[in-house]
A and B are shown apart, each in its own frame.
Chain A
Amino acid sequence: MGDYGEYLARGILQEKGYIIMEQNFRTRYGELDLVAGDGETLVFIEVKTRTGQSFGSGAAALTRTKQRHMIRAALNYLFRKGYHDRPCRFDLLDLRLDKKGKLLCYQLLRNAFMLERGKNC
């Protein structure tokens, strides 16, 4: 289901002008669902897929721990690719599907969180 969500997400993001660079980038610290370029900015995207009448939005599911994993993975990505001076950002894409897997609605949360010392990094 997550893979299907990421497939949908690619389409949505490309429509918004993002250039997808990586999908499911795995590091030992965590995984980045999607990495894309939005103009000059490098965007790390977390995709949350939900079906039916689930409780709470995807944004609420982005816990401190999850943020920490994303930050570490992003740092690892930047290091491995040799990007040193690029503006970066974390986005959250929240997808809502019905039972048959049809996209009902979605929400793109740009700059969903920042690094906060002592909290998520």
Chain B
Amino acid sequence: MPARLFSAAVLGIDGYLVEVEVDISRGLPSFDLVGLADTAVKEAKERVKAAVKNSGYPFPAHKIVVNLAPADLKKEGAGFDLPIALGIMAAENIVAPGRLEEGVTTGEVALDGSIRPVRGVLAMTLVARKERKKYILLPAANYAEARVVKGIEVVPVRNLLQAVAFLNSGLTPAFPETKQEEKSNPGEEDYAEVKGQETAKRALEIAAAGGHNLLLNGPPGSGKTMLARRLPSILPPLSREEAVEITKIYSVAGLLPSGASLITRRPFRSPHHTITRAGLAGGGSHPRPGEVTLAHHGVLFLDELTEFRREVLEVLRQPLEDGVVVISRALLSLVYPARFMLVCSLNPCPCGFFGDPVHPCSCTPRQLQRYRARISGPLLDRIDFQVEAPRLGHREILGSGEGETSARIRERVVKARVLQEERFAGSSIYCNAHMSSRELKKFCRLGPKARGLLAKAVQNYGVSARGCDRLLKVARTIADLDDSEKITGTHLAEAIQYREIEKWR
């Protein structure tokens, strides 16, 4: 009788159950592993052999066949070590088969029999609960992460012996209760530290309130990067579902620090401009989430937008439209979530001083033209608004006046978000930036005065149809911040002033 137990693997960011069957028969001694296993899984043979032996159990000198089902999906990683070891011991009657099939097991074994952490444990725990398994047996280092899931027994083990003890007699290893994560992050950066730049701060507040994409334009040293870095500090706090989703992504990507449980801060990702397409969108032969997915529910900041290679930026189009990235490979196609706020920064020209009141710009018109042509039009079209972060005057640089704190700005942002949630209740969107044309028509009615203003803007600035939609969305958010049901002329006028890049084209 073959021994049967369950493990789990990850596809995209979701887990699926893998059945591990172990058959031991007489004949020339051999150890075969079938079921589309990759190198790391194949190497499990050697680790398992040593671990079983070093835990004080005999390793059977028989013909051993291990099968991983479903057989058509490529299995990767070392998480099958522990289930294979336990399966062999069950087939040898060292482990009682009774509880084996009721749960899910994962973990990498070391040669001495201790258990090492694996990636993607949260996703595995979620699928184990979904499949109504009673427990999940996992490495102690992954305990905090899996404990987030309620409704399933989480059994952390440090070594093979503890796993055997649990299966044979239900002994759960004693484990120190982990501390609850602290609520406030003392090292968090705050907008109070940024001098001046009131226009830019206001724009960031609007962007945070409506989930809009934003472009910061300004000379070097004006604080663009500083401003963008502090954006997570004014974004609304994460809901539990969002936190679970982000933690799942980071767990699959192997970026979760050891012993960490839920991620409570919104991610802020600022990839370097040498990033590749696969690095940004995700992919590779064993697909991994890219930066757009790691920025899910957070901020993707592209510093010096013009330095990024064009074909890399083009991959942003799909996630910006759909909130997901689809990775298609010959064998499989994966969907990674990627709903993020895009914040870009750039200099107005190659030397950086175009339009600066003090520093003369040394660029030729031709250089300027080439520089501006480097930004992808379609990408720019998806950025709701732009704002200038000009050079600071001496009063602002030397002044000691502190700005408004992030906490106060966040209060207003949260208020505006609540309004939006009420507005979009029952639909799949939750903030103004994601409105489609139907919702725009419904929620962005203009008064006669505002309508006249919009007509003038279209006429004088050459605002495109899509640009017009974006204006309305931003105006809607400004009105929400003002707690106003209607979009008035003032709101629209403020929105119009944030479209300066329109002049570039």
Contact = CB atoms under 8 A, between A and B. Distances in A.
Interface of A: 41, 71, 74-75, 78, 85-90, 110-111, 114-117, 121
18 contacts: A71-B28, A74-B28, A75-B28, A85-B26, A86-B27, A87-B61, A88-B28, A89-B29, A110-B61, A111-B29, A111-B61, A114-B29, A114-B31, A115-B29, A115-B30, A116-B30, A117-B30, A121-B30
B404 interface: no
Given A88-B26, A114-B30, 8 more contacts: A75-B28, A87-B26, A87-B62, A110-B61, A111-B29, A115-B28, A117-B32, A121-B30
Among A41, A87, A88, A117, max chain B CB count under 10 A is at A87
Given A87-B61, A87-B62, A111-B61, A116 B31 contact: yes
B402 to A, nearest CB: 69
Given A111-B61, A114-B61, A87 B32 contact: no
Contacts of A111: 29, 61
A115 B31 CA distance: 7
Contacts of A78: 28
A113 B451 CA distance: 85
A71 B28 CA distance: 8
A92 to B, nearest CB: 13
Nearest to A87: B26
Nearest first, the 3 closest Cβ-Cβ pairs linking A and B are A115-B30, A111-B61, A114-B29
Nearest to A91: B61
A111 to B, nearest CB: 4
Contacts of A116: 30-31
A117 B27 CA distance: 15
Nearest to A71: B28
A38 B134 CA distance: 43
Contacts of B31: 114, 116
Contacts of B63: 115
Interface string B43-72: 000000000000000000111000000000
Contacts of B62: 87
Nearest to A89: B61
B194 to A, nearest CB: 62
A89 to B, nearest CB: 5
**Most chain A beta-carbon neighbours within 10 Å: one of B26, B28, B29, B32:** B28
Contacts of B26: 85-88
B88 to A, nearest CB: 13
Contacts of B28: 71, 74-75, 78, 88, 90, 115
B60 to A, nearest CB: 9
Contacts of B32: 117
